[in-house]
Amino acid sequence: METIGIIMNGVTGRMGTNQHLERSIIAIRSQGGIQLSDGRRVLPEPVLLGRDPEKLDALARRFELERWSTSLDECLSDPGNRIYFDAQATVLRPASVRAALAAGKHVYCEKPIGGNFQEAMELARIAAAARLKNGIVQDKLFLPGILKLKHVIQSGSLGRILSVRGEFGYWVFEGGSQPAQRPSWNYRKQDGGGITLDMFPHWQYLLENLFGSIASVSCVAATHIPERVDESGATYAVTADDAVYATFQLESGVLVQMNSSWCTRVHRDELLTLHVDGDRGSAVAGLRECEVQPRPATPRAVWNPEIADPNNYQQAWQKVADTAAFDNAFKVQWEMFLRHVLEDAPFSNDFLQAARGIQIVEAGLRSSTERKWQDIPPLTLEC
């Protein structure tokens, strides 16, 4: 059994602990590592990195891990640690990623990769020049509902796709007597907060992998809740957007309406839904499920508000069957990145894709400020 050291920075947070450590790296270790195409098995050996020694020690004990540290330089100096992973707050990520690349480490990190497009492109160019493997988390591509939707699209059963309507969000409590479900830095622009910066990178890779390249965007970013209560009980002013309402036009001509909000109460089956209309059928996908309505099963709707509608529209949809076992989306991508490092297996979700997400974030925020459409040119390392 071979091993590969992985520096895991920022995994004391909710996402880092649950998805990246427990459900990905620990799960891969529990299954005996990953098997490569040449028959070798490789076991990931994580070293937990962070600022709070008590939290790190507790996390290491919980998962029976031996290594943790509060020193980035110490971790980077160990040649056995070949991969650096970053799940810190956005404002802390670029400097640490830059240091890891300078130390010759392959880098995999959460999105967004940086606070602005210039910063993201700099990291993409540094990684490419150093010929180091690099990747960005794009977990939603590997969720069961999205995988089912991709299968439906590729089958051709929707025909020519006309439009997409996306709804994402939920009510995040303001804090105080009802604690917030998200950390307070999410609502401070100066700390890298804002739902546009948080969610547009997700919509970039989802839309461009499912439907085609984004050509332009028009959107309004809003701050609906002006004050919230932080983790210490202090009231603070919200300086970042907590909702964004966007329209994307794809190069194919497909129009996408995408609403993202931390100020909405849920009246749908899942926190994220994509409604896709084609000339031969439609599909609605969430995180886990996908339903379709082909042309022959489409009810004849007639607008007549004077009488009760005889159609039960929900019953006219057919659920896409589970024809495969779906593993945790984060774990699937971790295994892909490990194989990318260990045997040069394909991995398309690189730092250039991370920069593309930030490019679309900035175009969306410009559109909101200037109140006009923004064109988004294709992106290469030479841009």
Per CATH, the number for 144-325 is 3.30.360.10
Residue intervals of the chain classified under CATH 3.30.360.10 are 144-325
Which pLDDT score, from 0 to 100, does residue 368 have?
98
Q: Which of 158, 140, 142 is nearest to 276 (CA)?
A: 158
Per CATH, the number for 2-138+329-350 is 3.40.50.720
Please compute the mean of the pLDDT values over residues 336-354 and round it to a whole number.
97
Which pLDDT score, from 0 to 100, does residue 115 have?
84
AA letter at 345:
A
Asked if the model's pLDDT at residue 383 lies above 90, the reply is: no
Residue intervals of the chain classified under CATH 3.40.50.720 are 2-138+329-350
| Mean model confidence pLDDT for the chain | 96
pLDDT digits 0-9 by tens, 194-225: 999 999 999 999 999 999 999 999 999 999 99
Asked if the model's pLDDT at residue 98 lies above 90, the reply is: yes
Which pLDDT score, from 0 to 100, does residue 5 have?
98
Which pLDDT score, from 0 to 100, does residue 90 have?
86
- Split at pLDDT 50, 70, 90, the class of 190 is very high
- Split at pLDDT 50, 70, 90, the class of 12 is very high
> How many CA atoms lie within 13 Å of 129's alpha carbon, on the beta-carbon side?
11
Asked if the model's pLDDT at residue 285 lies above 90, the reply is: yes
Backbone angles phi, psi at 296, to 5 degrees: -65, -20
